[in-house]
Amino acid sequence: MTKFFLIVLMLASASSIHAQVSKSARYPTMAPIEQYRIANRDDEIALARSAAPPSISADAEVLVLGNHGFETAVKGKNGFVCIVERSWGAGFENAEFWNPKLRSPICFNAPAAHSVVPQFLKRSEWVLAGASKQEMIERSKAAYANKSFIAPDPGSMCYMLSPRAYLSDKDSHWMPHLMFFLPRVATSFWGANLPASPIIAFEGSDVDPVTVFLVPVRKWSDGTVAPDHHVN
């Protein structure tokens, strides 16, 4: 999930994107793959579903990390796809790109599942096959050039409302928020990152030409209210 991919993706928290470069020495290379796994498959399914309210996630498709990439654990009915994104879903410049502690539950709507999720899934396959970060960068550039990676479909968004997420060493679960994916545009397009604006945005790069807009909300997926200081 590029910048979601961040996500994309990650592909996903403000603090991790702006982590100080000095911290990168803490995660210079990939840790043993077992550190990125969730031992119990049911636990991973439950964590993935916690990204969105049960009214959405209960009927969503759920993907879990397998030996060669993410695989379907639960068939969906409503077009949403829930997944626990790992650290390599972040931007390639992210200081926590290889942080094995990161767990980012995300539930994507149908447009994002079609256009954003496949990029993260492919990146995960590369990671499990032993590709280096530089190799992934080059492959991503090539994939955009040959159109196997595509721009986000109109209406692409996801829920990140899990109170059990771990998005960065600095802020842990950060705040409940929605993310919207657009082909690379200036953050000013939505008035993001301006004084008193509730919208945060990360403009894409040549490697990840996707701009991600984050909109904080007041409640976690279980209905509990987030602390006041978590919302602008």
| C-alpha 82, offset from chain centre | 11
Which pLDDT belongs to residue 21? 39
In this structure, the dihedral spanned by the alpha carbons of residues 176, 156, 185 and 118, taken in order and rounded to 10 degrees, is: 100
Give the start-to-end residue ranges of the domains of the chain: 4-230
SS3 193: coil
Q: Pick the closest to residue 108 from 132, 82, 134 (CA basis).
A: 82
Low-confidence residues of the chain, pLDDT below 70?
1-25, 229-232
- Burial, 71: exposed, middle or buried (Cβ in 10 Å; 0-12, 13-18, 19+)? exposed
Q: Is the overall model pTM greater than 0.85, yes or no?
A: yes
Predicted pLDDT of residue 5: 40
Beta bridge partners of residue 213, listed in sequence order: 180, 201
Which has the closest alpha carbon to 123: 202, 23, 186, 36? 36
Q: What is the pLDDT of residue 65?
A: 98
Give the integer Cα–Cα distance in Å for 108 and 160: 9
